[in-house]
Chains A and B, each alone.
Chain A
Amino acid sequence: MIKQLSRIFILFVLVILYAPILILTVYSFTNATNIGAIRGFSLHNYVTLFTTPELRDMIIGTVVLALVAALLATILGTMGAIGAFYSKRQVSSMIDTLNQVPVVNADVVTGFSICILLVVVLGISKDTFIPLVIGHVTLCAPFVYLSVIPKLKQMDASIYEAALDLGATPQTALRKIVIPQIASGIVSGFSLAVTLSLDDYFIATYTKPATFDTISTYVVNATKGAQTTIKTALWALSAVIFVIVVLFVVVSNLKAENEEAAD
């Protein structure tokens, strides 16, 4: 009885989480302009999505921004983590504290404060993309730092010492001993950074050039507007992203299972 009830509850929560996106996916294959209206099968939303230059530029722009910001954040965050890990207590706790600020802070506040400093005080034009990229790196780097630090703590320090004893230079030892041991943290930090940048709305709104849009800012503006073709083309975009995420999860699960089987 309890088992049945808990299964029903789990199912109920899953329906809450997925019903909207699944219904939208189904409707993206029709020529309906509203959910609820029953119309014929059509692929025109997908045609619009992939042929409208405005939509294409917005998607490419979002992905490029995410990759650039995540790459910079990963380099900075990883170097910061290694540096902080080997620094004196006071220095590393200062970096720790400052690193925690963007993590707990509201994105609205982070975005607004970066906009004030860079755009209002220093007068850097938003059209240079500098405020936007710095904003996204500020959003992402702390999470890279937080993914790398635990790996450094788990690392066996004696291997590094052994490498030095055997004649490796500190640089070589860092490259061949430390980096491989923290690689999994760097990779998960990077993917976290990409996700954060892709999902960001607030930092982009406060720092982006007026003519540039990320998926988030574009979709938010589109829902306020009345352009039906764009609105339904975005349903197709949701469906595409949903499928990409599902594929990603399935593939990574199969990979994990294979690795388990190999062990």
Chain B
Amino acid sequence: MHALKLTRKSLGIPYALFLLLFVAAPLIVLVYYAFTNGQGQFTVSNLTGFFTDPNTLGTLCYSFAIAVTTTVVCLLLAYPTAYILAKSNFKRKSVVVMLFIMPMWINFSLRITALKEILTLIEGNLAYYPFLNAVIGMTYDFLPFMILPIYNTIVKLDESLIEAAKDLGADERSAFFKITLPLSVPGIVSGIAMVFLPAMTNYVVLDMLYNSTYIMGSLIGSYFAAYNWHGGSMIALILLGIICAFTLATKGMEDEDGSAAGGALL
């Protein structure tokens, strides 16, 4: 019995080592680089530099603005879509639902190329509307990731709760606001997590739409291009901080399946 437990457990050793080497160690190195300078001396100037430079602070605010707007637009489109899909009695419902998930499997760069061609046709010069285009691009890219977790939550809702509310005299509207909406919060939170954070960091969408504006991710990109590992590490660390804060704030609110983004993808 003892030897048997050893074999089963020891199967996990390679993966545990892999995680330590390629997940934990890079983060430690990141912290080290963020707080040292080119000569290897300890410094906090990367940190203070970020919070005193109006340019980087501006980028942080602009990032937040884009991420919040994108998340709100995605939510406004995704919630009704998910709700209608979950409550519908379409023939071949699974096919209809699949239509909303399918774009996830088409390479994002090709989808954004397509979007860029359409926007160019409509707007002429994309450089005139950087904020609008960033929000459109990201909404187009991330919308399925918002629809799926919300749909999964609503479709699993216990229908009898709503019937009970109606039996007790609630009309459609108050049944929705007092039962369905509060119970779909876990899906909404999962959806927000899948849209908000990428919207702060996924700068390639902006790049492809000829955007000259910067979000947090673009800062890492430009430090990387300049071989400035120390500055880039500090930005990465600040982003990690934001991600941690976000994850802790929503902990326990997420759907069991939704939090494992894997469940949301397949």
Identify the A interface with B (CB < 8 A). 6, 9-10, 13-14, 16-21, 23-24, 27, 34-36, 76-77, 79-84, 86-87, 91, 94-95, 98-99, 101-110, 112-117, 120-121, 134, 137-138, 141, 143, 145-147, 164, 170-171, 174, 188-189, 191-192, 195, 198-199, 201-202, 206, 215-216, 219-220, 223-224, 234-235, 237-238, 241-242, 245-246, 248-249, 253, 256
Identify the B interface with A (CB < 8 A). 3-5, 7-16, 18-20, 22-27, 29-30, 33, 77, 80-81, 84-85, 88, 94-96, 98-100, 102-118, 120-121, 140, 143-144, 193, 197-198, 200-204, 207-208, 217, 220-221, 224, 229, 232-233, 236, 239-240, 243, 247, 260-263, 265-266
Partner of B4, one of A9, A164, A202: A164
The A-B contact count (CB < 8 A) is 263
CA distance A141 to B116 in the complex (A): 33
Chain B residues contacting A106 (CB-CB under 8 Å) are 197-198, 200-202, 217, 239, 243
CA distance A192 to B262 in the complex (A): 7
Interface of chain A, main secondary structure: helix
Partner of B102, one of A137, A145, A246: A246
Closest chain A CB from B87 CB (angstroms): 9
Contact A80 B239 (CB under 8 A): no
Closest chain B CB from A74 CB (angstroms): 11
Contact B201 A83 (CB under 8 A): no
Chain A residues contacting B102 (CB-CB under 8 Å) are 245-246, 249
Closest chain B CB from A182 CB (angstroms): 12
Partner of A103, one of B7, B120, B261: B261
Closest to A245 in B: B105
Contact A170 B4 (CB under 8 A): yes
CA distance A143 to B261 in the complex (A): 8
Q: If A17-B100, A106-B239 touch, does A191 touch B266 (CB 8 Å cutoff)?
A: yes
Chain A residues contacting B232 (CB-CB under 8 Å) are 112, 116
Closest to A10 in B: B84
Q: If A105-B243, A170-B8 touch, does A220 touch B111 (CB 8 Å cutoff)?
A: no
Contact B207 A220 (CB under 8 A): yes
Pick the most buried of A106, A121, A134, A256: most chain B CB atoms within 10 A of its CB.
A106
CA distance A194 to B206 in the complex (A): 25
Chain B residues contacting A141 (CB-CB under 8 Å) are 15, 18
CA distance A116 to B99 in the complex (A): 40
Closest chain B CB from A38 CB (angstroms): 12
Q: If A143-B261, A219-B109 touch, does A112 touch B114 (CB 8 Å cutoff)?
A: no
CA distance A116 to B140 in the complex (A): 32
Contact A121 B107 (CB under 8 A): no
Chain A residues contacting B114 (CB-CB under 8 Å) are 20-21, 23-24, 235, 238
Chain B residues contacting A95 (CB-CB under 8 Å) are 12, 15-16, 19
Q: If A13-B77, A23-B117, A106-B200 touch, does A215 touch B23 (CB 8 Å cutoff)?
A: no
Chain B residues contacting A21 (CB-CB under 8 Å) are 103, 106, 110-111, 114
Chain A residues contacting B143 (CB-CB under 8 Å) are 13, 16-17
Contact B106 A245 (CB under 8 A): yes
Contact B9 A215 (CB under 8 A): no
CA distance A98 to B16 in the complex (A): 9
Closest chain B CB from A91 CB (angstroms): 8
Chain B residues contacting A87 (CB-CB under 8 Å) are 9, 12
Contact A35 B208 (CB under 8 A): no
Chain A residues contacting B208 (CB-CB under 8 Å) are 220, 223-224
Chain A residues contacting B20 (CB-CB under 8 Å) are 98
Q: Beyond the given A79-B14, A242-B106, please list 13 additional residue pairs across the A-B interface where CB-CB is below 8 A.
A: A34-B120, A84-B16, A95-B19, A98-B16, A103-B262, A107-B202, A109-B201, A117-B29, A121-B29, A195-B105, A199-B108, A234-B110, A253-B95
Q: If A79-B12, A109-B201, A116-B30 touch, does A20 touch B98 (CB 8 Å cutoff)?
A: no
CA distance A203 to B47 in the complex (A): 25
CA distance A135 to B137 in the complex (A): 26
Closest chain A CB from B138 CB (angstroms): 13
Q: If A14-B100, A24-B117, A107-B201 touch, does A9 touch B80 (CB 8 Å cutoff)?
A: yes
23 A-B pairs whose Cβ atoms sit less than 8 Å apart in the complex: A16-B143, A17-B103, A20-B118, A35-B121, A80-B14, A81-B12, A99-B19, A104-B193, A106-B198, A106-B202, A108-B217, A108-B239, A113-B27, A113-B30, A114-B26, A115-B224, A116-B26, A192-B262, A195-B105, A201-B108, A201-B109, A215-B107, A220-B208
